[in-house]
Structure formats: C-alpha cells, structure tokens
Amino acid sequence: MNTLTLRKSAERGQADHGWLLAKHSFSFADYYDPKHMQYRTLRVINEDRVAAGQGFGTHPHRDMEIITYILDGQLQHKDSMGNGRIIETGDFQYMSAGSGVQHSEFNPSKANKVHLLQIWITPDAKGLKPRYAEKPMASAETGRLHLITSKTGRDDSIAIHQDADLYLARLTEGQEVTHTLKSGRGMWLQVAEGSVSLNGTVLQQGDAISLDAKAETPLAIQASEKAQVLLFDLA
C-alpha cells in the first residue's frame, strides 16, 4: 500500500540572516536533520526571500542540477559561462554545474523583495560540461500540468542530467489536475502558493507531500483557492 508522507511548512529548517529569510525542506548549510537529507535525487528545496539590493556574491558549484523558480520579483544572475540577465516572475532558470561553475545572484530591486524556490537535483554523472537554460512560464495556462524538466527534453521541457520530471501547475479555485505515478517511481509535491488537496489530503503554502508508488497510482490535485504547485516525478 502506498504511504503519503507530509512535510509541513512549519517543520522545515529556517534561517533568518536579516537580508535573507530561508526555509529548507532538506538539510542545508547550518540546518541538519538526518531524517530529511533528500528525497530520491531531490537534494534541495529552499524557499528564499531576499531583501532589495541584496543577494549571493560569486560562489562555486559543481556536479549539481540547479533549478530556480521566481515566485515574485526579480533575480539578477551572472555566471562563469558568460550568462548574465535578470530573471523575472514566473521564469524557471536551469544551470547544470557539472565540472564546475561560478555564479552570483542578486535582487536588483531597490524597493521589493524577491521570493523564489531554489531546487537542487543530483545528476546521473559527474564532471559533465556546465550548461544553462531558461523557461518562462508567467503566462502558462491554468488548470494543467506543464512539464518543466525531463531527462530527454520532451514536450519542450528543459533537458537535465537526471530522470526527474518536474511539472508546474497553476490553479484557480476549484480547478483540478491529475497525474499517474508509475510503479517504482516517487512523487514530491511542493505547494508554492495557495492551498490544495492531493487525493483528499489538504496542503497549505510551503507544505509538501511525498509518495513512493508500489503500484500505478492516480493523483488528483485540486485547488481550494488560487494556487501553484510543483510536482516532481522521480526515478
């Protein structure tokens, strides 16, 4: 029998640095919880709020698939691959750190915070050539699942170095989306905005739920108000 495991928002690790308010779904930096190290290949989900004019100076990464989703505001990105631009609300940014990359991330606004999710997925090989991509989703249709990343880049998704399908759903009150999780795969559902129910289990903003499928499992996600969810379908 499949078991749903809740990860309530209030139970996440939290760090308040003044200019940065961060919530960690998994162990990260000074937050350590041996019960929450990662879920399958999903290593990091950080919900960050960065003050106006603040950010992360140039720092290195390697051997990690890094996905950033801007929930509200802007983020200025520069990296050692030569990429430099401002990522807007509704944009997904992908960076494969591979053999090594350096980058910086700053909030360019002089007045407003930026609210984002940063996601790390462990790659299926080490030492790969770094690469970069973006996928704007600000005008994405509500009431359906949009494939953001996949191993093969199918359906106009971003190809990443891992069998990890990431979907975005934007929902208005009462809208429902469905997804079938195949036997042996795992699901992590992260509520980015609003409130939804998954097969009857109610989730609020910041909550997450995971499921390891022992048989093919239908999933129904319904919004009780305006909502956004990220659904990870993981090998």
Burial class (CB in 10 A: 0-12, 13-18, 19+), 16: exposed
C-alpha span between 131 and 154 (Å, rounded): 18
C-alpha span between 88 and 130 (Å, rounded): 22
The whole-model pTM stands at 0.97
List pLDDT tens digits, range 77-110: 999 999 999 999 999 999 999 999 999 999 999 9
Domains and CATH numbers, the chain: 7-234 (2.60.120.10)
Write the DSSP assignment of 104-164 as a string of letters.
EEE---SS--EEEEEEEE--SSSSPPPEEEEEE-TTPPSSSEEEEEESS-GGGPEE-SSSE
List pLDDT tens digits, range 110-148: 999 999 999 999 999 999 999 999 999 999 999 999 999
Q: Which of 152, 155, 156 is nearest to 164 (CA)?
A: 152
**Torsion of the alpha carbons at 109, 111, 115 and 119, rounded to the nearest 10:** 30
How many beta carbons lie within 10 A of that of residue 120, not counting itself? 20
- How far is C-alpha 104 from the geometric centre of its chain's CA atoms? 19
